[in-house]
Structure 1
Amino acid sequence: MTDRFAVRKTPQGHGVWDAAVNGWHSRQDLDEAAATELANTMNAGHVAREAHPDTGSRRVVPAKPVLVLVDGRWWPGHLDWWVHENDGWYGRATLDASGAASWYPAASLRPAPASAARSA
Structure 2
Amino acid sequence: MLGRFTVRPSDDGSEGFGVWDGAVNGWRAIGIDDETEAYLMASELDVQYDAHGPRPADAVRKVDPAQAVQRAEWTTGELDVWIRDNGEWLGRFRGKDGRVTWIPGSELRPL
TM-score of the pair, normalised by structure 2: 0.81
Q: Where in structure 1 do 4 or more consecutive aligned residues deviate above 3 Å?
A: none
Give 1:30's aligned residue: 33
User: Deviation digits for residues 37-81 of structure 1, max 9, x if unmatched?
Assistant: 22122222225x42253xx31011111110012xxx311111111
Aligned residue for 1:74, secondary structure, equals coil
Identity %: 37
Report the aligned-residue RMSD: 1.9
Superposition pairs of residues 40-79 of structure 1, within 5 angstroms: 40-46=43-49, 49-51=54-56, 53=58, 56-69=59-72, 73-79=73-79
Aligned length: 105
With a CA cutoff of 8 Å and minimum separation of 6, indicate the structure with the bigger relative contact order: 2
Q: 1:106 to 1:33 in 2, by over 3 A?
A: same
Structure 1: which 5+ residue stretches go unaligned?
113-120
TM-score of the pair, normalised by structure 1: 0.76
Larger Rg: 1
Q: Which has the higher helix share?
A: 1
Q: Which has the higher strand share?
A: 2
Cα distance in 2 between the residues matched to 1:23 and 1:84: 24
